[in-house]
Structure 1
Amino acid sequence: MKKSTLLHLRIPFSFFLLPVFLLAVAISTEAHTQNLVLAFLTLHFLVYPASNGYNSYFDKDTGSIGGLKHPPQVSKELYWTSLLLDFVALCLGMFISLEFTVMIFIYGVISKAYSHPSVRLKKYPVLGWLAAGLFQGYFTFLLSFIAINNISISEVWNWSIQLPGVLSTLLLLGSYPMTQIYQHEEDTRRGDVTISKKLGILGTFHFTAITFLLSSSGFFYFFTEYYTLIKGVLFLSSMLPVLVYFTWWYLQVRQDEQKADFTSTMRLNFVSATMLNGYFIYLWIS
């Protein structure tokens, strides 16, 4: 495998998507260990890297992208590798359940439609934003939950399961525009009109702040209602470093919009993912 192919799979970037899976683990009452491990490996080492590689192949970015400050030139090998990873993911999925495998397949189709030139959801600001938020949030949460608990999709319609799934999408709908904030020039060059481009740089910050407030309030209600007040307060406390960094960065960008760069975006992603992952692991082991 070429080094460029491996880099474009962006396997470490899966860390930023891990909170949705850990949330599903944390609220599971009867986790099936084998399914948990298989689902984790399938999502974070096959499905997500395949999606990253496929997206990179058709984007052919010359500027920074999520997880890669200086992306190398792509090759046809990246295209075939991404498809191979998807195929292996489907094969592994069958060891869990047919429903899980079908949902993985649907996720793969949507992720390809996001970047493939014949559809390219990415060029539609609202549709692309909704697709990313829904499938990386709610949909992934549900497929993770049914795998971890070894149940069918007909058993996940309880509000105690649906609410965290909805909240995970709300959180992603707020954070996703921030991942596009430094790519406005690159997106304009390709003719993609992302939600962040529509909102503008400061507008993206304002939108994310409002959505972050709503999702955090929703999670506080969930953890207080279904667990304890202490767990709700601890969740809000775990989000404080995210709020502090976000506010500091926002004040910097108000002075100079060039500060809305790749490095700062990745730092926000890292702080946010680390705090969420840490809290959900705490919830799981407690």
Structure 2
Amino acid sequence: MITLSSIKHLRIPFSIFLLPIFFFALALTPNLNGERILWVFLSLHFFLYPSSNGYNSYFDKDEKSIGGLKNPPKVTKDLYWLSHAFLLIGLIIALQISITYAVMVVIYALVSMAYSHPSIRLKKYGWLSWLITGFFQGYFTFSMAYIGLSDLDWQVMFQPHVYTPGFLTSVMLWGSYPLTQVYQHEEDRKRGDLTVSIRLGIQGTFLFSSLMFLFTAIAFAWYFLGRNQIEVLWVYLACMAPVVLFFFLWFTFVRKDPEKHVSYGWAMGMNWISALALNGFFLYYFFANTQILQVINQV
């Protein structure tokens, strides 16, 4: 029997936070195909990511707020099997695209399982888990989506036109990842998970993320200028402005009263405003880069 608590732990709406990577890959794919777009989107955002969320929740057994759940319900045994069922469905969908894409889905799933499984538990190794998570949710996911959307082989992920934007997404995630842990110090310490945020401390987490955000902006500016997309760069900076403002507002409150403002509410607020801004930008970039806007305007 599937319980309501297990469905909640899948946190399907939480997939919106990784949707910008899909849109970025979609904007750059040379072989647009409506059927492949649908299959890749469904396999990632409705099955692979929720499977990962559920599997990690099963082993974490969090009692306090986690991403997407302010009051996580107690996990039950069916969550373990439900997460596997979602992975299996995602894999079946992936096979409709290509063997290469399906293999990459399996690799992502295995790394995700290693994040929380007690026999490995990457989460307890602060900097290593930060590096691996940013790499696989960024560069690897971008490459996986690009390969699935374009119907290409795995070798393309080592080409500059793929690994350059891929690593940009990793840099973006390496900056935001510590902020998702900053309100979970107490529970992470209880389990012996010395996360990056714990190692940096609260103030250090914000300072580190601010430097990474600056580096990310410079890296994206270099990328768009290199493609002679000056207008796109201005749109990117405009979309990032509210994210930066929210971040520094949050940091200002944290410096005054960290106990009160290092909270789930602030962290999720940061996540949502980032997701809205980035999804909006990369969706715009998809229309602009594929010249669909010009076609629409001509019609």
What is the TM-score when the length of structure 1 is the normalising length?
Answer: 0.98
Map of 1:187 onto structure 2: 188
Give the aligned residue type for 1:120.
Answer: R
Structure 2 CA distance, aligned partners of 1:176 and 1:58?
A: 20
2:281 to 276, 279, 283: 279
Map of 2:202 onto structure 1: 201
Map of 2:268 onto structure 1: 266
Residue 265 of structure 1 and its aligned partner are, at CA, apart by 0.3
Map of 2:48 onto structure 1: 47
Structure 2 CA distance, aligned partners of 1:241 and 1:180?
A: 21
Give the aligned residue type for 1:272.
Answer: S
Map of 2:10 onto structure 1: 9
Cα-to-partner distance string for 1:166-197 (whole Å, 9 max, x where unaligned):
01001101101100000000001111110011
Structure 2 CA distance, aligned partners of 1:193 and 1:245?
A: 27
Q: Do the aligned partners of 1:224 and 1:230 also contact (CA within 8 Å) in 2?
A: no
Residue 90 of structure 1 and its aligned partner are, at CA, apart by 1.1
Q: Do the aligned partners of 2:68 and 2:268 also contact (CA within 8 Å) in 1?
A: yes
Structure 1 CA distance, aligned partners of 2:44 and 2:106?
A: 12
Structure 2 CA distance, aligned partners of 1:210 and 1:146?
A: 31
SS in 2 for 1:239: helix
Map of 2:115 onto structure 1: 114
Map of 1:100 onto structure 2: 101
Q: Do the aligned partners of 1:32 and 1:150 also contact (CA within 8 Å) in 2?
A: no
Structure 2 CA distance, aligned partners of 1:155 and 1:121?
A: 28
Structure 2 CA distance, aligned partners of 1:84 and 1:228?
A: 43
Map of 1:87 onto structure 2: 88
Residue 121 of structure 1 and its aligned partner are, at CA, apart by 0.2
Map of 1:152 onto structure 2: 153
Residue 154 of structure 1 and its aligned partner are, at CA, apart by 1.9
Shift of the 28–250 alpha-carbon distance from structure 1 to 2, 3 Å rule, reads: same
Q: Do the aligned partners of 1:10 and 1:67 also contact (CA within 8 Å) in 2?
A: yes
Map of 2:218 onto structure 1: 217
Structure 1 CA distance, aligned partners of 2:227 and 2:159?
A: 12
Map of 1:236 onto structure 2: 237
SS in 1 for 2:5: helix
Which shifted more, 50-59 or 215-224? Answer: 215-224
List, as ranges, runs of 4+ consecutive aligned residues in structure 1 with deviation greater than 3 Å: none
Give the aligned residue type for 2:267.
Answer: T
Cα-to-partner distance string for 1:19-44 (whole Å, 9 max, x where unaligned):
11111011223222211110110000
Identical pairs, percent = 45
Structure 2 CA distance, aligned partners of 1:161 and 1:202?
A: 35
Structure 2 CA distance, aligned partners of 1:95 and 1:53?
A: 24
SS in 2 for 1:62: coil
Structure 1 CA distance, aligned partners of 2:169 and 2:73?
A: 32
Residue 161 of structure 1 and its aligned partner are, at CA, apart by 2.1
Cα-to-partner distance string for 1:253-278 (whole Å, 9 max, x where unaligned):
00011201000000001111111100
SS in 2 for 1:127: helix
Map of 2:78 onto structure 1: 77
Q: Do the aligned partners of 1:220 and 1:233 also contact (CA within 8 Å) in 2?
A: no
Residue 126 of structure 1 and its aligned partner are, at CA, apart by 1.1
Map of 2:179 onto structure 1: 178
Map of 2:64 onto structure 1: 63
Residue 127 of structure 1 and its aligned partner are, at CA, apart by 1.2
SS in 2 for 1:65: coil
Structure 2: which 5+ runs fail to align?
A: 289-299
Which shifted more, 255-264 or 157-166? Answer: 157-166
Q: Do the aligned partners of 2:156 and 2:162 also contact (CA within 8 Å) in 1?
A: no
Structure 2 CA distance, aligned partners of 1:31 and 1:10?
A: 29
Residue 227 of structure 1 and its aligned partner are, at CA, apart by 4.3
Map of 2:31 onto structure 1: 30
Structure 1 CA distance, aligned partners of 2:19 and 2:268?
A: 15
Structure 1 CA distance, aligned partners of 2:212 and 2:35?
A: 35
Q: Do the aligned partners of 1:54 and 1:78 also contact (CA within 8 Å) in 2?
A: yes
